[in-house]
């Protein structure tokens, strides 16, 4: 096991594509996973009738995954036979199995405490692609499982994008840096500052590095640093709050919800904060969250509101950039912003977006922008279309020069 690697959270794992019999409980009364012979390397030779498991179902449409606790049963149906074995793996009816369909991705992952996670993701979805990338698997095929062990998991180092995916399936990644805790508590008075204040502090801790030399690497470095510092401070403050206890269950639930909401909203704001700072360093003129038409507020408008509202200003020299740390289906919101600009841009940190989604983006004239380091999580065909941050900077700069700024 290596700190900061996938093996810290999973001992080993197995993947496959669900068959019709496995997915449709009306076709089978036994509720049995097929092709389990390779699972002996993971589950062993001993019968295990009730292995604690968490069942999870994910797709690209629902904001939260379906989750239910239960058990898996693993045993040799021919235990009494002197030479033959016939291992079987049974699963119960759950809200997860009810939603599974043929062609969905199945991952059975073993945690360090011996419990299992049974993760099912909609076939050919973005979240399925992300799980395959996270676990270092090219693709999942029928009929049997492909099993990977701890040695291979040790090679999968966790960074910002991969930690987002882990938290999507309920695995909390506590990557912290205690060296900054006392400084942050003193600086912010033992409370969370505004997102702008915290982003500014995170940038300062990186020292005098030249962020403009490689905008793609800069975005990832800034987000990585802020995420680690935020989790460091959050863990301390949450610990203090938990020690104080809660008078009612509702108080605890409200506190838990506030923690989750803060995490989600902060990530998007942090990305916008760092981009605004980077664009300023690069000499790009823009307005952040301007009003274009009605209540539409794109995240960034180049070269700014005045140029956009001046109908004499050439529309082809305007650039709109939407920003979403993770986009899922929310990318379509960007299409309704800045009517004067036909070809829109969206910057995200979400890896492995499905081909179906990126094809639709192209059809809708939306250009996806990602730091170059995330391009390798996409297919070769997709990579030829993706735009790195450096190319976006060059495009905006060229238009700015043409406009005489």
Structure tokens at 68: 């239910």
| DSSP secondary structure letter of residue 310 | -
Per the annotation, the verdict on 308 as an active-site residue is yes
Compute CA 197 distance to the chain's CA centroid, rounded to the nearest angstrom.
Answer: 25
What is the chain's Cα-based Rg?
24
Angle (nearest 5°) at CA 141 between 138 and 145 = 95
Contact 321, 347 (CB under 8 A): yes
Spatial distance between the Cα atoms of 43 and 147, rounded to a whole number of angstroms? 11
Spatial distance between the Cα atoms of 374 and 395, rounded to a whole number of angstroms? 20
Q: 191-223 as b/e, with b when 16 or more CB fall inside 10 Å?
A: ebeebeebbebbbeeeeeeebeebbbbbbbbbb
DSSP for 8-33, written as a single string: GT-SEEEEEEPPHHHH-TTT-SS-EE
State the burial class of residue 64 (Cβ atoms within 10 Å of its Cβ: 0-12, 13-18, 19+). exposed
Compute CA 384 distance to the chain's CA centroid, rounded to the nearest angstrom.
Answer: 22
Element (H, E) at 389: helix 389-402
Neighbouring C-alpha atoms within 13 Å toward the C-beta of 53: 28
Contact 301, 246 (CB under 8 A): no
Helix (H, G, I), strand (E, B) or coil at 247: coil
Spatial distance between the Cα atoms of 108 and 5, rounded to a whole number of angstroms? 18
Spatial distance between the Cα atoms of 30 and 36, rounded to a whole number of angstroms? 15
The pair phi, psi for residue 245, each rounded to 5°, is: 75, 175
Q: Which residue has the tokens 């020299």?
A: 317
Nearest by Cα to 389 from 223, 225, 231: 223
Question: Which residue is catalytic, options 9, 57, 180, 308?
Answer: 308
Element (H, E) at 304: none
Element (H, E) at 369: strand 366-369
Active site residues: 308
């Amino acid at each position: 096991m290596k700190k900061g690697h996938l093996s810290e959270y999973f001992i080993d794992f197995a993947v496959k594509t669900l068959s019709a019999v496995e997915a449709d409980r009306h076709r089978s009364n036994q509720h049995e996973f097929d092709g389990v012979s390779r699972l002996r390397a993971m589950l062993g030779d001993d019968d295990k009738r009730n292995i604690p498991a968490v069942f999870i179902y994910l797709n690209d449409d629902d904001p939260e995954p379906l989750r239910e606790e239960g058990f898996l049963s693993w045993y040799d149906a021919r235990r009494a036979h002197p030479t033959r074995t016939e291992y079987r793996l049974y699963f119960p009816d759950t809200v997860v199995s009810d939603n599974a369909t043929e062609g969905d991705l199945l991952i059975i992952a073993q945690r360090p405490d011996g419990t299992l996670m049974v993760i099912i993701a909609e076939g050919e979805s973005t979240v399925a692609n992300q799980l395959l990338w996270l676990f270092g698997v090219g693709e999942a095929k029928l009929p049997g499982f492909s099993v990977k062990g701890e040695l291979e998991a040790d090679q999968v180092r966790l960074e910002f994008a991969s930690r987002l995916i882990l938290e999507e399936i309920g695995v909390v990644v506590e990557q912290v840096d205690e060296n900054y805790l006392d400084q942050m508590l003193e600086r912010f008075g033992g409370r969370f500052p505004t997102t702008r204040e915290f982003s500014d502090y995170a940038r300062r801790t990186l020292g005098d590095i030249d962020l403009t030399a490689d905008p793609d690497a800069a975005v990832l470095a800034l987000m990585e640093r802020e995420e680690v510092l935020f989790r460091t401070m959050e863990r301390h403050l949450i610990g203090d709050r938990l020690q104080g206890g809660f008078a009612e269950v509702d108080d605890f639930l409200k506190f838990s919800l506030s923690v989750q909401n803060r995490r989600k909203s902060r990530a998007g704001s942090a990305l916008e904060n760092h981009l605004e700072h980077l664009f300023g360093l690069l000499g790009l003129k823009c307005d952040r969250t301007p009003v274009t038409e009605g209540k539409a507020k794109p995240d960034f408008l180049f070269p700014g509101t005045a140029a956009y509202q001046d109908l004499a200003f050439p529309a082809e020299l305007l650039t709109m950039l939407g920003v979403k740390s993770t986009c899922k289906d929310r990318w379509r919101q960007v299409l309704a912003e800045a009517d004067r600009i036909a070809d829109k841009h969206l910057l995200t940190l979400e890896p492995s977006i499905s081909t179906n989604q990126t094809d639709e983006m192209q059809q809708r004239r939306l250009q996806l922008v990602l730091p170059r380091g995330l391009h390798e999580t996409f297919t070769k065909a997709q990579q030829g279309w993706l735009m790195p941050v450096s190319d976006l900077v060059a495009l905006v700069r060229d238009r700015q020069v043409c406009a005489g700024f």
